[in-house]
């Protein structure tokens, strides 16, 4: 049995603890905040409670499969299927409803966009063949060496998945309408990337959405860390909240423990679940190139300091209202005149649009218990530059006003006068809580930070040190982070045995 310290109780850390404890390892979690879950949390005020971060459950099979592998009984999560999946409101007045069922979706597209239904069927057909291979190659295995990533088979697959093009351009092969191109590429925003900059390999995202559906965890995604920590505590896993890990110990090329509250604790292995770019600060400086030439702890060569590009940030509005909108779907997107121009303003020029795109989460549509009877909770997510230095106190308020006004016109009549509670969250808050560069989703999903170019579950040639989280391969989003934690645990078990 190994003793393993987990630094950070985000979804990656909790999942790793679940899998490790299931395999009989002794696990201790250190979490800086006063609760576990990281980005997966609730905002609460009086009778109102709504998810603070994730709301959209994708890939439910992956999520449930990992939980079962970790020893949770099947059905531990009550997942509610959203059908319609979501609704996309274009400025032209057109509305695309994403629905379950290929033929039903094609008919829905055909109704709003005559002549385009067959493009959707072609997309789904092409991706049905590619998705299982893409999942096995890019989501389920690490890339310790370049040669694994650039193997002839992988290169062929990347070419078929159009990794060399952008996601928006890749779906452009299937749809003529700019609006449909937006509808099938805006999913990169879920992980903080621009559709025109995120590689085409991420076509797996809109495909997964249409093929496996959009779901919601009953009671909110914020239930997940509660379910996980309850299970961990019942197994005797120690969870120390309010405890920041200040540094990691590396001796003779091996990570042998952590320092928290000025006290050293010894472990056989350490799994880091904080924002990856911040890990360097916890490691001895002499391990890195350019440091004073002292003994390098026997780590092979020196480690390279890396610069990372953060994902986009967001302004979030959480609201409690004294009425409901029974006709409004759970997940809705409201797009501006040109999503492409709008996002170019954000991603290329770092500016906040006068009228941006935004996403609205309306959980009462599928979960009656989400708010007091007859009332509602809503969540508006507005993608913005990650820059924590902007004057968010001034900017966020007026941006929220413009978005609420627009939402009132386009989908939530009477919204403003029904507000009983409202709270804003900005990139400055995200930065204060330790999210890298004020970005909401870890490091950006760009080609230079994908696959072998992204930090790996075993990130350095240091024995006993592993990493999992949104900024580590295979990337962000709850099920994907859980999948990354699974890989990190696999690497750990391989090395420790």
Ligand X SMILES: Cc1cc2nc3c(=O)[nH]c(=O)nc-3n(C[C@H](O)[C@H](O)[C@H](O)COP(=O)(O)OP(=O)(O)OC[C@H]3O[C@@H](n4cnc5c(N)ncnc54)[C@H](O)[C@@H]3O)c2cc1C
Q: Considering CB under 6 A, how many residues would be counted as binding ligand X? A: 34
Residue 157 or 282: the one with the smaller Cβ distance to ligand X is 282
Which of 178, 244, 280, 408 is close enough to bind ligand X by CB under 6 A?
A: 244
Give least dist CB 409 to ligand X, A.
24
Do the beta carbons of residue 267 and residue 3 sit within 8 Å? Answer: yes
Q: In what order do the strands lie in the sheet with 376-384?
A: 95-98, 86-89, 331-334, 358-361, 376-384, 313-321, 419-425
Q: Does 245 bind ligand X (CB under 6 A)?
A: yes
Q: Does 469 bind ligand X (CB under 6 A)?
A: yes
Give least dist CB 332 to ligand X, A.
13
Cα gap 360→378, rounded to integer Å? 7
Instruction: Please list every residue from 286 through 315 that binds ligand X, using CB under 6 A.
Output: 314
Cα gap 276→237, rounded to integer Å? 24
Which of 201, 481, 489, 492 is close enough to bind ligand X by CB under 6 A?
A: 481
Q: What are phi and psi of 402, to 5 degrees?
A: -65, -40
Q: Does 201 bind ligand X (CB under 6 A)?
A: no
Which of 27, 43, 49, 53 is close enough to bind ligand X by CB under 6 A?
A: 53
Strand boundaries in 236-330, DSSP class E: 238-240, 245-251, 254-260, 263-266, 269-272, 313-321
Which of 426, 440, 456, 483 is close enough to bind ligand X by CB under 6 A?
A: 440
Stretch that binds ligand X, among 50-58, 172-180, 317-325, 392-400 (CB under 6 A): 50-58
Would you say how long the chain is, in residues?
497
Residue 56 or 450: the one with the smaller Cβ distance to ligand X is 56
Instruction: Please list every residue from 335 through 364 that binds ligand X, using CB under 6 A.
Output: none
C-alpha torsion sign, points 177, 181, 186, 192: negative
Give the residue numbers marked as catalytic.
209
Best CA proximity match to 47, nearest among 404, 418, 378, 377? 377
Strand boundaries in 370-450, DSSP class E: 376-384, 419-425
Q: What are phi and psi of 7, to 5 degrees?
A: -95, 100
Stretch that binds ligand X, among 67-75, 180-188, 336-344, 477-485 (CB under 6 A): 477-485
Give least dist CB 413 to ligand X, A.
26
Q: For residue 457, what is the enclosing H or E element? A: none
Instruction: Please list every residue from 6 through 45 that binds ligand X, using CB under 6 A.
Output: 7-12, 30-33, 38-40
Q: Does 56 bind ligand X (CB under 6 A)?
A: yes
Whether omega for the bond prior to residue 84 falls within 30 degrees of 0, making it cis, is yes
CA distances from 444 to 21, 65, 298, 453 (A): 31, 27, 32, 12
Give least dist CB 224 to ligand X, A.
9
Which of 84, 172, 225, 274 is close enough to bind ligand X by CB under 6 A?
A: 274
Residue 418 or 456: the one with the smaller Cβ distance to ligand X is 456
Residue 158 or 492: the one with the smaller Cβ distance to ligand X is 492
Both structure tokens of 145: 């060496």
Per CB under 6 A, residues contacting ligand X are 7-12, 30-33, 38-40, 53-56, 190, 244-245, 273-274, 314, 316, 381, 434, 440-441, 469-470, 476-478, 481
């Amino acid at each position: 049995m190994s003793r393993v310290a987990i630094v950070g109780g985000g979804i990656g850390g909790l999942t790793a603890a679940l899998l490790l404890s299931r395999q009989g390892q002794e696990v201790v979690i250190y979490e800086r905040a006063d609760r576990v879950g990281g980005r997966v949390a609730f905002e609460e005020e009086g009778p109102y409670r709504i998810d603070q971060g994730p709301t959209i459950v994708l890939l439910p099979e992956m999520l449930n499969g990992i939980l079962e592998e970790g020893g949770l009984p099947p059905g531990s999560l009550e997942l509610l299927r959203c059908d319609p999946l979501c609704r996309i409101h274009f400025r032209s007045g057109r509305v695309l409803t994403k629905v379950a069922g290929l033929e039903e979706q094609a008919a829905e597209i055909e109704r709003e966009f005559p002549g385009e239904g067959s493009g959707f069927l072609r997309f789904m057909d092409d991706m049905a063949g590619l998705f299982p291979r893409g999942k096995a190659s890019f989501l389920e295995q690490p890339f310790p060496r370049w040669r694994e990533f650039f193997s002839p088979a992988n290169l062929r697959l990347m070419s078929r998945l159009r990794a060399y093009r952008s996601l928006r351009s890749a779906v452009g092969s299937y749809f003529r309408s700019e609006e449909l191109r937006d509808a099938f590429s805006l999913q990169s925003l879920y992980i903080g990337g621009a559709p025109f900059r995120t590689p085409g390999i991420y076509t797996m995202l809109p495909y997964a959405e249409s093929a496996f559906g959009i779901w919601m965890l009953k009671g909110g995604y914020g239930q997940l860390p509660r379910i996980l920590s309850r299970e961990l505590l019942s197994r005797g896993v120690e969870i120390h909240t309010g405890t920041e890990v200040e540094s990691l110990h590396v001796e003779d090329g091996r990570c042998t423990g952590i320092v928290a509250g000025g006290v050293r604790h010894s472990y056989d292995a350490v799994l880091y679940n904080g924002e990856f770019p911040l890990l360097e600060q916890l490691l001895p400086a002499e391990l890195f190139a350019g440091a004073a030439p002292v003994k390098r702890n026997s780590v092979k060569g020196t480690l390279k300091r890396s610069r990372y590009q953060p994902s986009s940030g967001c302004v979030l509005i959480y609201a409690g209202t004294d009425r409901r909108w029974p006709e409004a779907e759970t997940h809705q997107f409201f797009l501006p005149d040109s999503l492409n121009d709008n996002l170019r303003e954000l991603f290329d020029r770092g500016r906040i649009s006068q009228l941006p795109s935004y996403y609205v989460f309306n959980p009462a549509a599928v979960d009656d218990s989400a708010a007091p009877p007859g009332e509602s909770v809503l969540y508006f997510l507005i993608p913005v530059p990650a820059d924590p230095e902007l004057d968010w106190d001034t900017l966020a308020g007026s941006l929220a006003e413009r978005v609420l006004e627009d939402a009132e016109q386009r989908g939530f009549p009477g919204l403003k006068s029904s507000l009983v509670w409202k709270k804003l969250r900005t990139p400055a808050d995200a930065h204060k809580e330790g999210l890298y560069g004020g970005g909401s989703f870890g490091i950006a999903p760009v080609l230079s930070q994908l696959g072998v170019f992204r930090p790996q579950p075993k990130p350095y040639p240091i024995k006993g040190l592993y990493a999992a989280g949104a900024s580590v391969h295979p990337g962000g989003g709850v099920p994907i982070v859980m999948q990354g934690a699974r890989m990190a645990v696999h690497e750990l078990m391989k090395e420790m045995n």
